[in-house]
Copies of this chain bind each other. A is one copy, B any other.
Amino acid sequence: MYTGIVETKSITFEVDLKLDSGRILGPLTLAYETYGELNASRSNAVLVAHAWTGNAHLAGKYSAEEQKPGWWDAIVGPGRLLDTDRYFVICSNVIGSCYGSTGPASVNPKTGKRYNLSFPVITVRDMVRAQKLLIDHLGIGKLLTVLGGSMGGMQALEWATQFPERIASAIVLAATPHPSAQAIALNAVARWAIFNDPDWKKGEYRKNPKNGLALARGIGHITFLSDESMTAKFDRRFSARDGLFDFFGQFEVERYLSYNGYNFVDRFDTNSFLYLAKALDLYDAAWGCESLEEAFTPIAAPLQFFAFSSDWLYPPYQTEKMVRTLEKLSKRVEYHLIDSSYGHDAFLLEHETFAPMVRGFLEKLG
């Protein structure tokens, strides 16, 4: 039974994982959490894939005293969308991250030193290859669904195209078959902010290069919100403690970016941030294929897509390109455009907008 009190587990696979780059990564540790119970037929497993700076702590609390539950607790638990009385929910930290899975901040057992920039460039497909080791280990032949938003949605897509027989469905929120030049540009300036920071030391820092990482994260926050949501939240309000004509005076929106940027420094590794940004930019659902059509041909499971009207990082037209391709291939596909002012973040903030459709979709799977 899922009690609401959870722990992060860890497993190390003594493998040599061949990556898209041709390089080898191993051994490979994955941090993960599970909620609910796997049923006797092993048919109720749901994998939730996290976004860029997420982790395995999807739901619940480590102790009753913990202030905040996991990052998507709102949809996981008894009676919730991913009902833990019914489903066995799994979330694992992606490789390349810094929350317990092997990433650039991990010690390379072969050298006894942190990988840092000797860590190989990884792709979203590589993340899913590593995830599959965990699903195999848990003895799950077929996942009932893989669900995720943003980079999590890309992972769900990769399950659908790379391991079509291993999933009964996939649910893809706020994702893209390949980020646009504009999305790449926004990650590029975030990277640049870190490269500019003398404390980054080409990845050989002891302490996070705080100014560079905070700025990089600040840039990210702009892309997660929307023109409309920023106006609703901050409009043109000026910080009450600053003078309007002070050179260093700040608008409220500046303070927000700065506050959130510097907060991030305490919770994320800079090199991980860079490696995952790279994985996002490189993401191409059609990688290795001539076309998206060819890439989607192996898909066997029904797919459900959600796009959010004000998401300008991965705008709806990008999801719609995937939906049209699947329709052309006569695949089972369902698409919902959610009207929202919350931008890319809508998938995390407004679960009630898509929960009924997800519930319906899962019901149909039986």
Residues of B near A225 (CB, < 8 A) are 182
Q: Which of A280-322 contact B (CB under 8 A)?
A: 281-282, 284, 312, 315
**Which of B218, B230, B251 sits near A189, CB closer than 8 Å?**
B218
A155 to chain B, nearest CB (A): 19
Interface pair A184/B253, CB less than 8 Å apart: yes
Task: Find out whether the CB atom of B284 lies under 8 angstroms from the CB atom of A219.
Answer: no
A215 / chain B contacts, CB cutoff of 8 Å = 189, 192-193, 196
CA distance A245 to B22 in the complex (A): 9
The answer for the CA separation of A258 and B179 in the assembled complex, in Å, is 19
Name the interface residues of A1-58: CB closer than 8 Å to any CB of B: 20-23
Measured in the bound complex, the distance between the Cα atoms of B250 and A244 in whole Å is 39
Given contacts A198-B198, A231-B182, A236-B181, contact A121 B188 (CB under 8 A): no
Q: Would A253 and B181 be within 8 Å (CB), given that A20-B245, A196-B212, A245-B121 are in contact?
A: yes
Scoring A180, A188, A231, A254 by chain B CB atoms within 10 A of each residue's CB, the highest score goes to A188
Decide: A188 near B254, CB < 8 A? Known: A193-B215, A230-B180, A246-B121: yes
**Closest Cβ neighbor of A211 among chain B residues:** B196
Contacts of A281 in B (CB 8 A): 251
Interchain CB contact under 8 A, B188 and A257: yes
Complex Cα distance, B225 from A231, in Å, reads 21
Copies in the complex: 2
A197 contacts partner chain B, Cβ-Cβ < 8 Å: yes
**Which chain B residue shows the least CB distance to A233?**
B181
Say whether A185 faces chain B, with CB atoms less than 8 Å apart. yes
* Interface presence of A117 (CB below 8 A): yes
Interface pairs (27), CB distance under 8 Å: A21-B245, A22-B245, A117-B247, A120-B245, A121-B245, A179-B236, A180-B236, A181-B230, A181-B235, A182-B230, A182-B231, A185-B222, A185-B230, A185-B253, A185-B257, A188-B253, A189-B189, A189-B219, A189-B257, A192-B215, A193-B193, A193-B196, A193-B215, A227-B315, A247-B278, A251-B281, A312-B312
Residues of A within 8 A of B (CB): 20-23, 117, 120-121, 178-182, 184-186, 188-189, 192-193, 196-198, 211-212, 215, 218-219, 222, 225-227, 230-231, 233-236, 244-247, 250-251, 253-254, 257-258, 274, 278, 281-282, 284, 312, 315
